Amino acid sequence: MVADESKTVTRRRFIAGSGVAGAALLAGCTGDNSEGAKTTNNGNGNEPNSTGTSGDGTTQSGPYSVSMEPVGTVEFDSVPKTWVANNGSWADMGVALGLEPPKAVWLTSRYHTQYYDEIPGVSVDKSGMRDLSQDGVNKELFYELDGDVHVIDPNFLMNRFNGWKQSDIDEVEKNIAPFFGNSIFSHGYDFHKNYRYYTLYEAFEKLAEVFQRTDRYEKFASLHDEFQSDVESVVPKKKQDRPEVATMWASGNQPTSFLPYLISEGTSFKQWRDLKVRDALANTSVRDFHSNRGKVDFETLLEIDPDVLLLRGHEQQTEKEFQNTVVSFMKNHSVGSKLTAVKNEDVYRGGPLYQGPITNLVVTERAAQQVYDVSKQLFDRKKVASIVAG
């Protein structure tokens, strides 16, 4: 069921205060929350935008609204303080904006906060964070969390499992807080065919408008432009000089079957699209896991025989742990050991399902090191930390 894009959420929840505390993210770092009250214009420099701001970026008094498909226009009386996020993509955007972490995400195990180890002074404590998905999603959990905004595509809740209906979405919006979100990480869901996808930075800008922190968004967008230029510089000019890679989900440390992921649109594959690798699965009969839930065994993988094998599902491991378990098993497997990627030691962790602006910088640089033997840093860690701190 697709939410009505023209629907306006009329219930507005008053939130005391005009900023969002971000001190929990930064070790020994505090700041004036008024920094987060700035907003941006709509691109022409002189007209008000959807967040109720003037063209010079100053906040106007009174309610403001932000529009995003499929939720339509959502109004806020004041800036939300607490929130619930669909996944690590949105949670990471919150970190980039200097917000307190969300109270819950879909699965905390797939929100890989170790990437922040790369950024000085930035960390996230997940110990109190809840899993939304617990053999389904209990509506009562939303009442318990009592967030000021739910950064979740409501269609994701209504289509990923049986249990949620539009009436449940309406109830949560009426009694707790509005939904605001879009399932940006994958283009593989049928329920998303009828409304717009957003790129990582398009979605990031929308969230920045919700939390009135578009100053940080603009700085990240500028940093990302510089980063993209540096990434472009390490990509071989000739397509044939770029490796053919196969991205698979591999469960456990001794995988014998794999779930295939073709490189496609969505934030989940942003690093591989930006690095312009060739997809080893693209010209085969193998179909994306999203479309048919199929599996690939070692024999089929050997027929494809990619230059590089990228295995998802192991982001919680260090590179050394991954090599000592998964790769070691493949080296000793009767068929797996014949793979070119295994023989050439080109089997790597394939990156997370969910990427926000900080995560994307870290995993793209790592991916460049994996497939192009890049040794230099491609982004300034201190600059990222400075933007987060406001």
Which residues are CB-contacts of 303 (< 8 A; sequence separation ≥ 6)? Answer: none
Which of 12, 22, 2 has the alpha carbon at shortest distance from 390?
A: 22
| Better-scored residue on pLDDT, 7 or 183 | 183
pLDDT in the model for residue 10: 36
Whether 34 and 128 share a structural domain = yes
Q: Is position 3 within any domain?
A: no
Concatenated DSSP letters of 16-67? SSSS---GGGBTT----GGGGG-----SSSSS--TTSB-TTSPBPSS-EEEE
How confident is the model at residue 186, as a pLDDT?
87
Residue 148 sits in the same domain as residue 247: no
Burial class of residue 185 in the structure, from the number of CB atoms within 10 Å of its CB (0-12 exposed, 13-18 middle, 19+ buried):
buried
Same domain, 171 and 320: no
Query: What gap in Å lies between CA 21 and CA 285, rounded to an integer?
Result: 50
Q: Which of 198, 224, 250 is the last residue of a domain?
A: 224
For residues 53 and 87, which has the higher predicted lDDT (pLDDT)? 87
**So what's the pLDDT on residue 189?**
83
Same structural domain for residues 163 and 21? yes
Domain boundary among 179, 203, 224: 224
The whole-number pLDDT of residue 57 equals 36
CB contact at 8 A, 36 and 104:
no
pLDDT of residue 190: 84
Q: What integer pLDDT is reported at residue 290 of this predicted model?
A: 58
Domain range enclosing 176: 8-224
Residue 284 and residue 187 in one domain: no
Regarding whether 315 and 216 lie in a shared domain, the answer is no
DSSP annotation of 179:
B
Q: What is the pLDDT of residues 92-129, one digit of tens each?
A: 999 999 999 999 999 999 999 999 999 999 999 999 99
What's the rounded mean pLDDT across residues 167-171?
Answer: 96
Instruction: Look over the chain and give the mean of its residue pLDDT values, rounded to a whole number.
Output: 85
User: What confidence score (pLDDT) does residue 295 get?
Assistant: 85
- The H or E element spanning position 389 is helix 381-389
For 87-135, the three-class secondary structure string (H helix, E strand, C coil) is CHHHHHHHHHCCCCCCCEECCHHHCCHHHHHHCCCECCCCCCCEECCCC
Contact status, residue 79 vs residue 37, Cβ threshold 8 Å: yes
pTM of the full structure: 0.83
Residue 101 lies inside a defined structural domain of this protein:
yes
356 is a domain residue: yes
Closest CA to 68 of 131, 155, 160: 155
Q: Do residue 165 and residue 205 come from a single domain?
A: yes
Q: Are residues 184 and 286 in the same domain?
A: no
Q: Which H/E stretch holds residue 229?
A: helix 214-234
Q: Is residue 220 assigned to a domain?
A: yes
Q: Mean pLDDT over residues 13-22, rounded?
A: 34
198 and 276 in one domain?
A: no
pLDDT the model gives residue 19: 33
- Please, which residues bridge with residue 122 across strands? 26
Q: Are residues 259 and 140 in the same domain?
A: no
Instruction: Please report the pLDDT score of residue 292 as a whole number.
Output: 60
Q: Summarize the confidence of residues 272-283 as an average pLDDT.
A: 94
**Which pLDDT band holds residue 6 (cuts at 50, 70, 90)?**
very low
H or E stretch at 348: strand 347-349
> For residue 25, what is the domain's CATH number?
3.40.50.1980
Domain total in the chain: 2
Q: What is the pLDDT of residues 342-378, one digit of tens each?
A: 999 999 999 999 999 999 999 999 999 999 989 999 9
| SS3 at position 266 | coil
Confidence class of residue 200 from pLDDT cuts 50, 70 and 90? Answer: very high
- Closest by Cα among 200, 209, 188, 198 to 228: 200
Amino acid making up residue 337: S
Please give the biggest Cα pair distance in the chain.
68
Residue 1 covered by a domain: no
Domain end marker among 191, 224, 257: 224
Asked if residue 260 and residue 211 are part of one domain, the reply reads: no
The predicted-structure confidence for 25-45, as pLDDT tens digits, reads as follows: 333 232 333 333 222 222 323
Is 101 or 286 the better-scoring residue by pLDDT? 101
Could you give the CA distance from residue 146 to residue 136 in angstroms, rounded to a whole number?
19
Q: Is residue 229 part of a domain?
A: no
